[in-house]
Amino acid sequence: GNSVTQMEGPVTLSEEAFLTINCTYTATGYPSLFWYVQYPGEGLQLLLKATKADDKGSNKGFEATYRKETTSFHLEKGSVQVSDSAVYFCALSESYQKVTFGTGTKLQVIP
């Protein structure tokens, strides 16, 4: 079956540091890939997505590139802010199937 593996957190960074959160996946076909973010006390929100190989999703300074050869979808941001502190979930969706989520990676950004 499908699966998503994320790096375990928490990840603690200073403000303006570079962020990478690794995500790899296993799927039988050609999934769409997503990053969701969950701020404290809230539900998940879609951050970005990519629907085919080599696509780059981007939003709010975050980017992730769909790498079929390495089955990866790593999340990056060049300069994090305190307001980016949240839990980040990588997810995939295949045709006619439910979405599979990773376990989430908590990011803490300190001033």
Partner 1 sequence: ETGVTQTPRHLVMGMTNKKSLKCEQHLGHNAMYWYKQSAKKPLELMFVYSLEERVENNSVPSRFSPECPNSSHLFLHLHTLQPEDSALYLCASSQDFGSARGHTDTQYFGPGTRLTVL
Site for partner 1 in 67-96 (CB under 8 A): 89, 93-96
In the chain, count H helices and then E strands. 0, 12
Length of the chain: 111
Minimum distance, C-beta of residue 12 to partner 1, in the bound complex (Å): 17
d(C-alpha 11, C-alpha 56), whole Å: 23
Which pair of tokens denotes residue 8? 């375990």
Site membership for partner 1, residue 60 (CB under 8 A): no
Toward partner 1, which CB reaches closer, 10 or 61?
Answer: 10
Binding site for partner 1 (CB under 8 A): 4, 30-32, 34, 36, 41-46, 49, 51, 89, 93-104
